[in-house]
Structure 1
């Protein structure tokens, strides 16, 4: 499991401007409009046709016998971030793990 933060700015497309680790502030970095928090894993991955489903309440891609859980965790994250005016997403491929992100407005 890896967690990291990027600052992004909307300039007609997304541009990853700076990677920060260990809570260190980057130097000489212009203010950004958004902060994106990433969480990456090396799990089984999620096929593209199932990626939108995982943010719905009680949606499970596998039975409880295969993977424990209730199917509400990502739905709670989605709703909480949405209420803060943010976005949630995932980048994933089967067999290659997943990268989940939440994006919030920067307060700088």
Structure 2
């Protein structure tokens, strides 16, 4: 799923920087994981698409791009996202942080 996330986000946002970390191992034993509730991912994405957008607007764009991987309609836990931590930056914001 990690590679699928990278592929989808790369196609949609043409990132200057993209990092996807699978944090699912940190959540073993949690109720949602026991039920096959999907993976926990942390994404850092730098894209010109985010220029002049509010953080909420950026999050909405990313969630819309990945909406088919959330929810109960997904049968395979390997194809499901349970939690997604997002750091979404414009190129200007990223440059000021590095």
User: Normalised by the shorter chain, which TM-score bucket?
Assistant: 0.3 to 0.5
Structure number having the greater helix percentage? 2
Specify which structure has the bigger relative contact order, considering alpha-carbon pairs within 8 angstroms and separated by 6 or more residues: 2
Structure of higher CA gyration radius: 1
TM-score where L is the length of structure 2? 0.35
TM-score (norm 1): 0.33
